[in-house]
Structure 1
């Protein structure tokens, strides 16, 4: 009985995780390009020679799309690959263990976004609304 209730709420929880991870990912991009929130990386996206600037563009665009649930699967695929690259290029050279090389967030984002590629957006998404309109 409890399992049935939990199973019924799974699409809502998937949507909640999608929205929150998209917004958190977006915040990395806004920090790099919009100086918000203030911090060590604020404004660093405008140095286009820096590979982090490319990541910032993906964070802005894919983070927005994932949070809205619009083109979720391709946006999540791009974000997942970007975070895999960020780990191997930016973190792994500083040591093998993610907890020591500060790459744990990149790995976690990578696998959460990879999950969205397979699971889709869940409920409360613009993808679901588009599909509903197309069926009419």
Structure 2
């Protein structure tokens, strides 16, 4: 029964790509545009500000499926960096240091860097 689902793997990969990038986009817009409402806003040209720029640019590229592999690789590295700089120093456990989302984003984007965009992408081959 589940073998038939394999035929829809490219579409499922595209849904994973789009939904993950939409969630990632919200993190960038929160940092730079204050939407959704944020408790703080990073100063211009600070490390969190640059992270917001990267999050917005890579999210849009990944949503569109345009240069997905390099954009996902950059997004993955950004999340790895964010985890070790902002989350890990406060506590060893990701559930306690609020770093579980950064880890999940890191590895989903790393997967997309290898798997590609799936269906419904601008530069689909």
- List gaps (5 residues or longer) in structure 1: 132-136
Provide the residue aligned with 2:120 in structure 1.
124
SS in 2 for 1:127: coil
Alpha-carbon shift at residue 77 of structure 1 (Å): 0.3
Runs of 4+ aligned residues of structure 1 deviating over 2 Å after TM superposition are: none
Look at both structures and tell me which one has the larger radius of gyration over its CA atoms: 1
Offset of residue 96 of structure 1 = 0.8
**Residue 23 of structure 2 corresponds to which residue in structure 1?**
24
**Equivalent position of 1:103 in the other structure:** 99
1:48 positional shift: 2.8
Structure 2: any 5+ residue segments left out of the alignment? Answer: none
Q: Which has the higher helix share?
A: 1
Distance in 2 of aligned mates of 1:40 and 1:70:
32
Candidates 67, 71, 96, aligned match of 2:67? 71
Taking structure 2 as the reference length, the TM-score comes to 0.95
Q: Following TM superposition, by how much is the alpha carbon of 1:49 offset from its aligned partner in structure 2, in angstroms?
A: 4.7
1:50-100 Cα distance to aligned partner (Å, 9 max, x none): 311111011100011111111000000000000000000000100111000
Aligned position for 1:93: 89
Q: TM-score, normalised by structure 1?
A: 0.87
Could you say which structure has the greater relative contact order, defined with CA pairs below 8 angstroms and 6 or more residues apart? Answer: 2
Q: Name the count of aligned residue pairs.
A: 125
Equivalent runs, 1:35-74 vs 2, <5 Å? 35-41=34-40, 44-45=41-42, 47-74=43-70
Contact persistence 2:10–2:119 (CA under 8 A): yes
